[in-house]
């Protein structure tokens, strides 16, 4: 398994630990792992798309080009019912699986921030399992669109959205 799949499995494991009284540490790490599972899935594939001839270690450097906040903005655009498409994306069809991936990314990122930094809030198992299920659903949806035009364009937009935005009428 790759890192993204390992993280998703770890998230599921942590979400089910301590069946009677789950520890906040386990629940919070589960949410964080669920987010990073999807983050690594997307950025690893984007790095491969951009730099297919680089060795794996160098591609890891490319993954660092991606900014969490910018990725969230792109995902919100793709999930919106009124995506303002730049001219070069005007014919792009946004499928339901892609929108599920985009939506899951936005939700998971917000949850991850709360899990890692908002220690005043307690997590419950049900809320954590929702986040893990979101990540798992995003992985399944992502497989459905692999190799498609929207898959490639979405990955490029995660890094280059600002440049696409310049094309807006």
Partner 1 sequence: MNDEEERRRAEELIREVTLPPEIERVEVRAGVDWTGDPALKVTLWVTPALVFNQEKANALNKAAEEVQVKLLESSLSRYPFVTLDQAA
Region 57-86 residues binding partner 1, contact defined as CB under 8 A: 69, 72, 76, 79-81
24 part of the interface to partner 1, by CB under 8 A = no
18 part of the interface to partner 1, by CB under 8 A = no
- DSSP conformation class of 142: H
Residue from 49, 133, 156, 160 touching partner 1 (CB under 8 A): that is 133
Rounded to the nearest 10 degrees, what angle do helices 96-117 and 24-50 cross at?
130
């809320």: which residue's tokens?
127
Instruction: Please state the closest distance from residue 54 (CB atom) to partner 1, in A.
Output: 30
Residue with Cβ nearer partner 1 (44 or 159) = 159
Query: How far is Cα 123 from Cα 38, in angstroms, rounded to an integer?
Result: 20
146 part of the interface to partner 1, by CB under 8 A = no
What DSSP assignment string belongs to 32-46?
HHHHHHHHHHHHHHH
The alpha carbon of residue 13 and the mean position of all alpha carbons in its chain are separated, in whole angstroms, by 19
Stretch that binds partner 1, among 53-61, 86-94, 101-109, 140-148 (CB under 8 A): 101-109
32 part of the interface to partner 1, by CB under 8 A = no
Helices (H) and strands (E) in the chain, counts: 7, 0
Residues forming contacts to partner 1 in the complex (CB under 8 A) are 69, 72, 76, 79-81, 103, 106-107, 109-111, 113-114, 117, 124-127, 129-130, 133-134
């Amino acid at each position: 398994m790759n890192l993204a799949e390992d993280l998703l499995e770890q998230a599921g494991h942590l979400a089910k630990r301590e069946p009677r009284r789950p520890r906040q540490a386990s629940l919070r790490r589960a949410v964080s792992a669920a987010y990073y599972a999807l983050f690594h899935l997307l950025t690893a594939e984007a790095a491969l798309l951009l730099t297919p001839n680089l060795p794996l270690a160098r591609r890891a450097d490319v993954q660092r080009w991606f900014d969490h906040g910018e990725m969230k903005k792109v995902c919100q655009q793709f999930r919106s019912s009124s995506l303002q498409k730049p001219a070069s994306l005007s014919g792009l069809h946004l499928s339901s699986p892609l929108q599920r991936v985009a939506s899951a990314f936005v939700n998971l990122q917000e949850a991850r921030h709360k899990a890692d930094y908002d220690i005043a809030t307690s997590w419950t198992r049900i809320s954590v399992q929702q986040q893990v299920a979101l990540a798992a659903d995003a992985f399944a949806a992502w497989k459905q669109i692999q190799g498609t035009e929207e898959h490639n364009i979405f990955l490029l937009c995660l890094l280059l959205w600002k440049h696409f935005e310049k094309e807006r009428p």
